A and B are shown apart, each in its own frame.
Chain A
Amino acid sequence: MNAERAARWFVLGLALGVPLAILAVSWLRPAQTLELHARMAESGGWTPDALIVKAGEPLRLRLTSDDVLHGLAVGQTDWPAVDVFPGKVTETTLTFDRPGTYAFYCTRWCGVNHWRMRGTIEVTGETTVEPAITPPLYVTLGIDIDRPHPAATTPARRPSAGRGAALGVTLPMEYLTQEYYRSHAPMEVWRSLRAEPFMTSLSDDDVWDLVAFAWESNTSPEAIGEGGKSYAANCAACHGEQGGGDGVMAEALVKQLSTGMGHEAQAPASFIDAASMLGASPALLQGKIIRGGMGTGMPAWGAIFTEPQTWALVDYLWTFQFD
């Protein structure tokens, strides 16, 4: 009788103990942690996708993915991205100093709707100083970024900044200012240079080399490197690793959009197309990146990239045209 009783208690203990143990271990979680689940956008994206925290208060997050590898980063901050692993939990803490609305997004490609995987973090608090909102350059310049921008002439060979430097021509200062560089398309720069009296001895292609040189003077290897990394992580999947608008995602993206819109959607832009690239100013490119495309699959990166990051990316895009 005792043996039977003992055995029954053993079974009961296990039957109750197992679920209780699970509950106990999960109750041991520290307070104020929020569990953030990542799923491919088709399956729901981020859950929850709207977070609220007070400025200065740490936001403790337990990140896990329910399907594939994702990543988490918060736009407009220098907080490093964190990988979110399937079936594993990664803990991280975010603290925001300034109130405002921040966007968080997925940093590891998780399908054709990866770029849609975004959420918001509302940071509440008193703001002492309202940051001045400056409009992007393309707005200030009045550029219509949706209008086609063909270049009237294109170089016969790929312009090289090195060759441009070796020409031994001293460019007037105005061509080398960042303001000028950002607001003028290479086509316009070439036309201006071509019209300069002291350039008459140079060939058309030599002038293009000088345009390339002007570009190189307005950027730095670090910026191009950063832009390259940004491009590889965010753009190459659709725009192609060689910039041809033929990335691995391009076909699926166009198909998805075409089905949704009922007519053929636009393919991702090609950066190796000299006729269109050389007619675009850096400001136009920056505008497209910030605002995204209307009716195309181009995401809006304004909430994600900081201004320096955006310009670095634009600088990098010219490497598809210039050496």
Chain B
Amino acid sequence: MMRYDLTRLPLVKPLLKSRWPQFILTALLLAGFVFAILAGLAGTPVGSRNFGIVFVWIAWWAALMLIAIPLFGRGWCSICPIPAPGEWLQRGAVLGPQESSNDFSRSSATEVATTNVRRGLGLGKRWPNRLRNIWLQNAVFVLVALFSAVVLTQPRVTALVLAALLFIALGASLVFERRAFCRYLCPVGGFIGLYAQLAPVEVRVKDLALCAAHTAKTCYTGSAAGYGCPWQVFPGSLVKNTYCGMCVECLRTCPHDNIALNLRAFGADLEAPAGRKLDEAFKAFIMLGAAVTYSAVLLGPWAALKSAAYAIGTPAWGAYTAAFLLLIFVLLPGAFWIAVRIGTVFSRSGASTRRMFVSLAYALVPLGLAAWIAFSLAFVFANLSYVWPALSDPLGWGWNLLGTAHLAWRPYLTGVTPALQAVVLLGGLTWASATARRIAAEGLPPHAATLQSLPVILYCLLVTLALLGLLVA
């Protein structure tokens, strides 16, 4: 697979090695995050005129789903403000070990595997083995998703969710080592990681032999030059983007300049057969089911569904919850299992259905991202114009900081949005189909692979038709 190391370009390596750009972005985003919480708590209860709602669920969501994830994978995670306070406390420093250390020699040649990750506060406990998966993340995402109709529209509730994330991340940093929150708890991180496999950028080592010869592995343990990987990943073993937060700490720490930021083909990680797990497979089903559900409930014309989703605590909401959980945990995976089974039988492959189920579920990754992009296009363009008044009057208190407070709501690009959505969904389907075929061919001869993947491709086709029906029809 073709890869181009971007650090060969001028300015890229110095920009990444310097801690200032990332720090300033993170600090500014943290200020914005805190401001969003304050706006949600103290500002107007009218969602469309509150900075908290507008900048989280319209501006940030659009940037994340339409730009950050497809182009930069976990790029958002590298500047995300949520873990920042906890990480600063953990490290006992806001910028970095070189800048804060006066015990160690400034020369990076002095390479001592230190425990500088523990110089700050925190118990530094190891995350429990039983929870070393994303099932917890799946659960947290589903929990937030069930309340989404209220979260997306009530500033107070958004503020509470954001504040909860901030404090849970802080708590996790003070108890566990490194970025435990990001890796195992963050609801957003679950799907960013899953879809990061599709991104055209990656952080990988340049020469594995160098890593083998390097016993200290300071990219993981940390040294005077930099901290060990906060994502508990050993860069030398990185095959997929799923758990690499692109914080490029390893790039700073590696004494042999062996870390590269590669430009590569989209979706290269899907070809790696290793490391396919059931929890990630279910994340794919959860995201697909959520996209379909939101398209029906939030963007559809059925008032009963919307009211049910909003009326938390009522029997109607209970029914909605049950239907949603049934869809994501039973119906979608169940139908997929049937498709895989049919494929296994007809191809006479002799492959284990369970293994095929987990492997082929990765074909749903490009389909899911396409579904979320298509869904997001609809409400982002329709509501983007709320951003301008929110900049001037973020709390709805009558300010006019930038003069844009009185700009009226105006939906953008409504004539072309359905066509755009169709194009995105078609692209996702093509990609999913190719991925299914490719994954099936990993252990099977060609015509058997085709037969194995055909029912799964039909499944993807049906899901695409359903999404087209909900969004475009």
Q: Answer whether A and B touch in the complex at a CB cut-off of 8 Å.
A: yes
Among B100, B397, B399, contact of A1 (Cβ-Cβ < 8 Å): B100
Alpha-carbon distance A91/B50, docked complex (angstroms): 19
Q: Given A1-B100, A2-B99, A14-B27, 12 other A-B contacts at CB below 8 A?
A: A4-B94, A4-B96, A8-B94, A14-B28, A19-B38, A62-B398, A64-B396, A64-B398, A66-B46, A87-B46, A87-B49, A88-B393
B-facing residues in A41-68 (Cβ within 8 Å): 62, 64-67
Question: Does the CB pair A7–B34 fall under 8 Å?
Answer: no
Report the bound CA distance from A19 to B35 in whole Å. 8
Nearest A residue to B93 via CB reads: A4
Contact residues in A for B401 (Cβ distance below 8 Å): 25
Is B399 within 8 A of A18, CB to CB? no
List 11 interface pairs A-B (beta carbons < 8 Å), by A numbering. Answer: A3-B99, A4-B100, A7-B94, A7-B99, A14-B31, A18-B34, A22-B35, A25-B401, A64-B396, A66-B44, A87-B44
B383-421 CB mask vs A (1 if < 8 Å, else 0) is 000000000010111110100011000000000000000
Could you say which of B30, B50, B102, B395 contacts A22, with CB atoms under 8 Å apart? B395
Question: How many of A's residues come within 8 Å of B, CB to CB?
Answer: 26
A15 touches B393 (CB 8 A): no
Is the pair B99, A91 in contact by a Cβ cutoff of 8 Å? no
- Docked Cα-Cα span, A65 to B399, in Å, equals 15
Could you tell me which A residues sit within 8 Å of B by CB distance?
1-4, 7-8, 10-11, 14-15, 17-19, 22, 25-26, 62, 64-67, 86-89, 91
Q: Which of B130-155 contact A (CB under 8 A)?
A: none
Cβ of B221 under 8 Å from chain A: no
The CA of A303 and the CA of B24, in the complex, are separated in Å by 60
A contact residues around B102 at 8 Å (CB): 1
Q: Which residues of B contact A (CB under 8 A)?
A: 20, 23-24, 27-28, 30-31, 34-35, 38, 42, 44-46, 48-50, 88, 93-96, 99-100, 102, 393, 395-399, 401, 405-406
Q: Cα distance A8–B95 when bound, in Å?
A: 8
Distance from B449 Cβ to chain A, minimum over Cβ atoms (Å): 53
Cross-interface CB contact of B95 among A7, A22, A65, A88, cutoff 8 Å? A7
Residues of A within 8 A of B38 (CB): 18-19, 22
Do A15 and B396 contact each other (CB < 8 Å), given the known contacts A4-B100, A66-B44, A87-B46?
no
A15 near B34: Cβ-Cβ < 8 Å: yes
Contact A87 to B23, CB < 8 A, known contacts A7-B99, A18-B38, A66-B46: no
Q: Nearest CB to that of B100 among chain A residues?
A: A4
Query: With A1-B100, A7-B94, A66-B44 as given contacts, are A91 and B30 in contact (CB-CB < 8 Å)?
Result: no
Q: Is the CB of B94 within 8 A of A89?
A: no
Output the least CB separation between B80 and chain A (Å): 15
List A contacts of B48 (CB < 8 A).
86-87
Question: How many angstroms from the CA of A11 to the CA of B31 in the assembled complex?
Answer: 8
CB pair B27–A10 under 8 Å, yes or no, is yes
Q: Which residue of the partner chain A has the closest CB to B102?
A: A1
Contacts of B100 in A (CB 8 A): 1, 4
From residue A26, how far is it (CB to closest CB) to chain B in Å? 6
Residues from chain B with Cβ under 8 Å of A8 in the complex: 94
Among B27, B93, B94, B99, chain A packs the most CB atoms within 10 A around the CB of: B94
Which A residues touch B405, using CB under 8 A? 88
